[in-house]
Amino acid sequence: MTGEGVRATLLNVIPNPVPTVVGRAIFYNHSYWNDPANGFTDDNAIDPTKAALLPGGTGSFANYTGSSLGINGIMIDVAALPAGMPAASDFTFKIGNDNNPSGWSTSVPAPVVSVRRGAGTGGSDRVELVWADNAIQNTWLQVTVLADAATGLASPDVFYFGNQIGETGNDPSNTFVDAGDFVAVRDHPANFLNRAQPGNPYDFNHDSFVDGADLVITRDNPNNFLNAIKFITPAASAPSPAAAAAPATAISAAKSTATQPSSGSTQVAPSGAAESRIAPTPFSFIPVSHRRKRVSVW
């Protein structure tokens, strides 16, 4: 039946995705776990035990590493990242060690920026920031992804990672590197039979062994309350509605945790995160008054 039959108006639905940060992670560049000669990529070197400290939160060992190379690799997953390549100028970086990041130093070297399309959480685009070894060490690093044409974000995304060389997290009440850390390293050896994974807190140089080299690192990097990094609580700013719609979490280790490849094979950890969420896609509707075609339903 046509004409006088039941009619339905076909509405044109136009997706309008909003770029959103959906994951953040720290990885160990120049480690055993991202060496192509060992069959690995940068994704295999993600530390699954670490998560970005977000504004309003309080720092803990979950937010800083004991890596002897300092902070040399960060990944940011962005859903619906605009075409093109973000540059270092699309980010700002600060280093400091108190609750007032507005007063922190901006003397941070520019990282090398790269993008792997579709390699991130839920098919998002993975942005990598890489610094020279030890360019950022024994401090907190603030990373701000700017809201500009290159990122497409509605508002800046701010997060923090820290580093305290030789720290094992043995005492949750402080970040001191002392005899307790030395003993912890001594009591947790690892070798080629049971390689230390990226999240192993005793493998400071990330060569997959916990041995005398790591003991030397913790022995040679003592600190105390005068120079240890603090459990900072950076102030939270009110998020924009778009930012509040989809808070990003750490890039899940469920699919990026490195495992030793079998002989003669190359293993690449797939990207993805069960805990990360992508913002719901908003839609634009063309009003009925502007419709071009009406469809009759029998």
Q: Would residue 206 count as lying in a domain?
A: yes
Q: Report the chain (298 residues): mean pLDDT per 10 consecutive residues.
A: 48 73 98 98 98 98 98 98 97 98 98 98 98 98 98 98 98 98 98 98 98 98 97 81 52 48 37 38 39 38
Q: Would residue 277 count as lying in a domain?
A: no
pLDDT at 291 (0 to 100): 39
pLDDT at 9 (0 to 100): 46
pLDDT at 285 (0 to 100): 36
Residue with tokens 């070297």: 109
Q: Would residue 123 count as lying in a domain?
A: yes
State the residue range of the domain holding 159. 17-233+246-263
- Which of 52, 37, 74, 25 has the alpha carbon at shortest distance from 207? 37
pLDDT at 195 (0 to 100): 98
Q: Residue 15 forms beta bridges with which residues?
A: 283
Would you state the structure tokens that stand for residue 172, as one six-digit string?
A: 């949750």
One-letter amino acid identity for 238? A
Q: Would residue 12 count as lying in a domain?
A: no
Q: Would residue 45 count as lying in a domain?
A: yes
pLDDT digits (tens, 9 = 90+) for 112-126: 999 999 999 999 999
pLDDT at 286 (0 to 100): 38
Domains in the chain, number? 1
pLDDT at 237 (0 to 100): 73
pLDDT at 166 (0 to 100): 98
Kindly compute the dihedral angle of the four CA atoms of residues 186, 191, 194, 198, in this order, to the nearest 10 degrees: 80
Q: Would residue 197 count as lying in a domain?
A: yes
Q: Would residue 292 count as lying in a domain?
A: no
Of all helices (H) and strands (E), which one includes residue 182? helix 179-186
pLDDT digits (tens, 9 = 90+) for 254-289: 344 444 444 333 333 334 433 333 344 443 433 434
Q: Would residue 211 count as lying in a domain?
A: yes
Question: Does the pTM of the predicted model rise above 0.85?
Answer: no
- Which of 73, 78, 72 has the alpha carbon at shortest distance from 126? 78
